[in-house]
Amino acid sequence: MTTPSKPLAGLKVIELGTLIAGPFASRICAEFGAEVIKVESPDGGDPLRKWRKLYEGTSLWWFVQARNKQSLTLNLKHPEGREVLKRLLAEADILIENFRPGVLEKLGLGWDVLHALNPRLVMVRLSGFGQTGPMKDQPGFGAVGESMGGLRYITGFEDRPPVRTGISIGDSIAALWGVIGALMALRHREINGGDGQVVDVALYEAIFAMMESMVPEFDVFGFIRERTGNIMPGITPSCIHTTADGRHVQIGANGDAIFKRFMQAIGRDDLANDAALATNDGRDARRDELYGVIDRWANGLPLDTVMQVLKDAEVPASRIYSAEDMLSDPQFLAREMFLQARLPDGKPFKMPGIVPKLSDTPGSTEWIGPALGEHTATVLAGLGYDSAAIARLRAAGTV
């Protein structure tokens, strides 16, 4: 029995990205079989190599974010460096870049040039504010996109300033939109016989697209959604509660039948049978009362007991997980959400598993993030450069 190909096998992706959004988009492609060549500056490479917790001088995040990628060092300020990149792009399917708009154009590598070079090329452009508009030339990180896109305004408690979500969610969501756009463009190319095209993703728009009913609620009612802490506004009950042993649990009992089962399970048949609470609008009108009831119940019991009651009553709930909780959780383990890998010195370590799960052509990790320029000679040889030419490029500081 032959092993099926991964779904993106045969695609060549060139990554001109650093840090989070662009590299995360190409990582997804690499996990599902695309050949991803990451172009890095010879002078240190992607700054992510030095972000957060370092092991032997290299970020653990790097080993995950750059898995399955090849690292090619290339000085794009050097004419020969740009020539190498053009050779790569002439046979590529996707270019993913997250420079500030105008940078590639100044290098003579704008869309008009690249499209003429390779009409089938799909160019994914991730930037703070997109390739057009009055703010296009301004720098914009994920935090700025989260702020402008509406996420920061509604995150936190109503009596305190806005807070971040704890991860670089703006960059990651933008990366997902980038991959979705690339796959749409590829389908158009392959099925409809079209040319390649530009996929223009602005970080603030990637967040804005997730803001649910915020715009029509303001447009129709003049309603501005505010910060509500752990409460899901307008949908009751759904909140985080603290147990007797000081731990925390998210309870989502906002379905009509679920709410009734929940109230019966905690001994509040009066609320379970209250006709005024049979639907969400009635429950939301008495939100404070209901959260008080649930708080008192949870406060009086240890987490394990709370979770068992909720499980028996089929009420959606979860304790609030840390990384430590995840590593020993049967659900995570059953779904193979931790992959065993080895660091360059042979030390074993766990990295996140692959999402999504495909039944016939699943993604996988073939190798961890490479050393800077680890594949430079291999990639150049594949482009037709012989050993003497590669040596000359190295001597000139081009690679």
Report in angstroms the alpha-carbon separations of 221 from 226, 283, 330, 334: 14, 21, 46, 46
Residue with tokens 């089962």: 261
Contacts of residue 334, defined as CB under 8 A and 6 or more positions apart, other chains included, come to none
Alpha-carbon distance of 146 to 206, in angstroms, equals: 9
Domains of the chain (ranges, CATH numbers): 12-210+336-395 (3.40.50.10540), 238-319 (3.30.1540.10)
- Tokens representing 215 are 């715009």
Q: What is the largest CA-CA distance in the chain?
A: 85
pLDDT recorded at residue 9:
97
pLDDT recorded at residue 2:
44
- Tokens representing 296 are 């008192």
The β-bridge partners of 240 are 250
On the question of pLDDT at 1 being above 50, the answer is no
Report in angstroms the alpha-carbon separations of 41 from 22, 76, 104, 251: 15, 8, 14, 48
On the question of pLDDT at 176 being above 90, the answer is yes
- Tokens representing 141 are 């990180």
The β-bridge partners of 13 are 36, 94
Cβ atoms within 10 A of the Cβ of 359, count? 5
Query: What is the average pLDDT score of the chain?
Result: 97
Q: What percent of the chain has a predicted confidence (pLDDT) above 90?
A: 98
- Tokens representing 291 are 């959260």
On the question of pLDDT at 123 being above 60, the answer is yes
pLDDT recorded at residue 4:
63
Residue 345 designated active-site: no
Phi, psi values for residue 64, rounded to 5°: -85, -50
pLDDT recorded at residue 127:
97
Q: In degrees to the nearest 10, what's the CA dihedral of 113, 132, 16, 337?
A: -140
Give the amino acid at 165.
T
pLDDT band at 301 (very low <50, low <70, confident <90, very high): very high
What is the mean pLDDT of the segment spanning 242-259?
A: 97
What is the mean pLDDT of the segment spanning 341-365?
A: 97
pLDDT recorded at residue 233:
87
- Tokens representing 58 are 């290299």
Mind listing the pLDDT tens digit for each residue in 254-277?
999 999 999 999 999 999 999 999
- Tokens representing 259 are 């709410």
By mean pLDDT, which of 79-88, 212-221, 225-234, 279-288 is the weakest?
225-234
What three-state secondary structure class fits 94? strand
On the question of pLDDT at 3 being above 90, the answer is no
What is the mean pLDDT of the segment spanning 166-183?
A: 97
For helices 169-191 and 21-31, the axis angle rounded to 10 degrees is 50
What is the mean pLDDT of the segment spanning 89-106?
A: 97
Phi, psi values for residue 226, rounded to 5°: -115, 175
**3 vs 30, more confident:** 30
Among 46, 93, 171, 200, the one annotated catalytic: 171
The pTM is what? Answer: 0.94
Mind listing the pLDDT tens digit for each residue in 59-68?
999 999 999 9
